[in-house]
């Protein structure tokens, strides 16, 4: 969000408070807490807007280490290139001692080293548990948790329906024709392909392992 | 050897939150009635405390299950999306009820109202003053939400946190302005059907803005603690969808409730 974007957002504020002058009725209750200035936060936002300038460099752990040197004002020390008026005001008003780290503790890098280098982790870095196993398997082209729609087979002797299973038998429900309301259930055992008792399509059990 | 196969969906462990939430709702509603008859807010406050505890615990449990235990696989996320869409749709219909109440009374005003709309004796608010400012604030918060979303998707942590903070501040600014409008308004909720429909509709809307700001505040805390990844950040998307729907309802109330003539 650049300064220009802030101006865009607050153009309605500018219309209201510059073009239309008569807001006297808003200040009727002078003796009440609502007499706080009703100036929009645009003033503050414009002051702090430069913080949001897109950073076209790159973050590195060494540069982001919080030390006494990096906390000094920019005109004295060019290690910091992105400061805003607000940051400069802060450094001027608060004594440097207040902002330094106590004791001799080592400073943590302000920016965690993320693969994306922007600071937000990716699923590759941070996904865990079942979600991680699912994503890793899908990346390898496998679908151990049957998330995707099953593949279509013709069901003939040479192209039987492949039924993955982690054991040596699995229940199969055959919907012989589309729109049938009665499903034909049977146990499919490993070994020779079996046929549906109703329509005769071939089913073959194939063993597959789940990722651990 | 056969081992337990994890399904792509998961069953939630038993939780006291549905019970505590229901009890909280009971205590708050009955407490509200009690407070009106017997001038004591004890029961309602107890219900409110229980509600806040339920909110805290249930959202903490969901965050633990999704972010820390990895139960929110893609099919689970899809289910959560459906849930949020259905909930937002129910909120839209909730507001449609109040708009229909307003139009029912304003399009064919009765003689008791003076046969005109707005009714006789009501000095309406000028829509091009604070209501327009409120619209601008909500629209600006829509811009900042989109900026935060894109920052998260592109992995820009600092921009995401800044945009999210600005969104929350704009939400608080809206609430403050609306509170000031309520205080300064020339009519009250007791001023006939106009007052009733106006304050009930804008009051519920203001409550929804507060809920949206709270949701974003939780998202900000989570974002600061690295919960969101660039692909998986459904909590933030849910908050953004909810706030956008809130913004839409304010836009429609702006064109209907605030204008001087019932269109």
- Indicate if the pLDDT at residue A53 is higher than 60: no
- Same domain assignment for residues B136 and B255: yes
Q: pLDDT band at residue A142, thresholds of 50, 70 and 90?
A: confident
Mean pLDDT of B141-166: 95
DSSP per position, A110-151? SS---TTSSBPPPHHHH--HHHHHHHHHHHTT--TT--SPPP
Region of poorest pLDDT, from A127-131, A205-209, B31-35: A205-209
- Same domain assignment for residues B65 and B109: no
Interface of A with B in 80-109 (CB under 8 A): none
Closest CA to A119 of B246, B39, B225, B107: B225
SS3 string, chain B, reads CCCCCCCCCCCCCCCCHHHHHHHHHHHHHHHHHHHHHHCCCHHHHHHHHHHHHHHHHHHHHHHHHHHHCCCCCHHHHHHHHHHHHHHHHHHHHHHHHHHHHHHHHHHCCCHHHCCCCCCCCCCCCCCCCHHHHHHHHHHHHHHHHHHHHHHHHCCEHHHHHHHHHHHHHHHHHHHHHHHHHHHHCCCCCCCHHHHHHHHHHHHHHHHHHHHHHHHHHHHHHHHHCCCCCCCCCHHHHHHHHHHHHHHHHHHHHHHHCCCCCCC
- Same domain assignment for residues B157 and B219: yes
Residues of A in contact with B156 (CB under 8 A): 118-120
| CATH number for B134 | 1.20.120.80
Domains and CATH numbers, chain A: 150-211 (2.60.11.10)
- Same domain assignment for residues B136 and B31: no
pLDDT digits (tens, 9 = 90+) for B219-234: 999 999 999 999 999 9
- Indicate if the pLDDT at residue B188 is higher than 70: yes
Enter the ipTM.
0.82
Give the Cα separation of A128 and A132 in Å (integer). Answer: 5
3-state helix, strand, coil split of chain A in percent (to 5) is 30, 15, 60
pTM of the model: 0.71
β-bridge mates for residue A188, sequence order = A170
Cβ atoms of residues A170 and A188 within 8 Å: yes
- Residue-number span of the structural domain to which B237 is assigned: 72-260
Q: Which among B71, B94, B110 is the end of a domain? A: B71
- Same domain assignment for residues B79 and B46: no
| Mean of pLDDT over chain A | 69
Residues of B in contact with A145 (CB under 8 A): 6-8, 73
| CATH number for B40 | 1.10.287.70
- Same domain assignment for residues B87 and B217: yes
B71 touches chain A (CB under 8 A): yes
Inter-CA distances, B140 with A17, B33, B167, B181, B231, Å: 17, 38, 8, 20, 25
Q: Which among B71, B101, B126 is the end of a domain? A: B71
A164 touches chain B (CB under 8 A): no
Q: pLDDT band at residue A8, thresholds of 50, 70 and 90?
A: low
- Same domain assignment for residues B123 and B241: yes
- Indicate if the pLDDT at residue A48 is higher than 90: no
Which of B76, B166, B225 to mutate to test binding with chain A, by most A CBs within 10 Å of its CB? B166
Contacts of B201 (CB under 8 A, 6+ apart): B95, B98, B99, B102, B253, B257
Contacts of B204 (CB under 8 A, 6+ apart): B94, B95, B98
Residue A26 C-beta-side C-alpha neighbours within 13 Å: 19
Q: Residue B146's pLDDT is what?
A: 96
- Indicate if the pLDDT at residue B151 is higher than 90: yes
Is beta strand A194-195 parallel, antiparallel or unpaired with respect to A202-207? Answer: antiparallel
pLDDT digits (tens, 9 = 90+) for A79-133: 444 555 555 655 565 555 555 545 444 444 444 556 567 889 999 999 999 999 9
- Indicate if the pLDDT at residue B200 is higher than 80: yes
- Same domain assignment for residues B195 and B93: yes
Region of poorest pLDDT, from A36-50, A187-201, B237-251: A36-50
In terms of CA atoms, which chain A residue is nearest residue B222? A120
- Quote the percentage of chain A above a pLDDT of 90: 32
Q: Is A94 one of the annotated binding-site residues?
A: no
Domain count, chain B: 2
Q: Residue B252's pLDDT is what?
A: 86
- Same domain assignment for residues B4 and B98: no
- Same domain assignment for residues B84 and B32: no
- Quote the percentage of chain B above a pLDDT of 90: 87
| Mean of pLDDT over chain B | 92
Q: Which among B50, B71, B92 is the end of a domain? A: B71
Residues of A in contact with B160 (CB under 8 A): 120
């Amino acid at each position: 969000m650049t300064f220009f974007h802030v101006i865009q957002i607050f153009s309605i504020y500018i219309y209201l408070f510059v073009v239309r002058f008569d807001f006297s009725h808003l200040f009727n209750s002078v003796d009440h807490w609502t007499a706080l200035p009703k100036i929009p936060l645009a003033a503050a936002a414009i002051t702090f807007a430069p913080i949001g300038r897109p950073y076209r460099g790159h973050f590195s752990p060494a540069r982001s280490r919080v030390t006494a040197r990096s906390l000094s004002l920019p005109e004295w020390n060019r290690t910091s290139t992105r400061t805003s008026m607000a940051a400069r005001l802060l450094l001027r008003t608060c004594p440097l001692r207040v902002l330094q780290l106590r004791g001799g503790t080592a400073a943590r890098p302000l920016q965690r080293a993320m693969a994306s280098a922007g600071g937000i982790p990716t699923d590759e870095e941070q996904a865990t548990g079942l979600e991680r196993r699912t994503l890793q398997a899908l990346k390898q082209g496998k679908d151990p948790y049957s998330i995707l729609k099953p593949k279509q087979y013709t069901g003939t002797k040479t192209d039987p329906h492949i039924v993955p299973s982690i054991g040596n038998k699995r229940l199969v429900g055959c919907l012989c024709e589309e729109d049938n309301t009665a499903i034909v259930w049977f146990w499919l055992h490993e070994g020779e392909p079996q046929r549906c008792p109703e329509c005769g399509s071939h089913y073959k059990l194939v063993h597959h392992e789940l990722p651990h | 050897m056969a081992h337990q196969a994890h399904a792509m969906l998961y069953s939630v462990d038993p939780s006291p939150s549905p019970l505590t939430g229901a009890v909280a709702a009971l205590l708050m509603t009955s407490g509200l009635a009690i407070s009106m008859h017997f001038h004591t807010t004890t029961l309602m406050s107890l219900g409110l405390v229980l509600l806040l505890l339920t909110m805290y615990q249930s959202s903490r449990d969901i965050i633990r299950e999704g972010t820390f235990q990895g139960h929110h696989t893609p099919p689970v996320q899809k289910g959560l999306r459906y849930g949020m869409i259905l909930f937002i749709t129910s909120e839209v219909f909730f507001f449609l009820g109040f708009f229909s109440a307003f139009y029912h009374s304003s399009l064919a005003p009765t003689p008791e109202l003076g046969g005109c709309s707005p009714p006789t004796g009501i000095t309406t608010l000028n829509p091009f003053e604070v209501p327009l400012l409120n619209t601008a604030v909500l629209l600006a918060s829509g811009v900042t939400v989109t900026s935060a979303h894109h920052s998260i998707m592109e992995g820009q942590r600092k921009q995401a946190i800044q945009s999210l903070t600005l969104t929350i501040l704009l939400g608080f600014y809206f609430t403050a302005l609306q509170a000031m409008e309520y205080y300064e308004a020339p009519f009250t909720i007791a001023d006939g059907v106009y007052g009733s429909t106006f304050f009930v509709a804008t009051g519920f809307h203001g409550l929804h803005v507060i809920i949206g700001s709270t949701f974003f505040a939780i998202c900000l805390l989570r974002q600061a603690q690295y919960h969101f990844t660039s692909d998986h950040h459904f909590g933030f998307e849910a908050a953004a969808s909810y706030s956008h729907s809130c913004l839409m309802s304010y836009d429609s109330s702006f064109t209907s409730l605030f204008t001087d003539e019932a269109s």
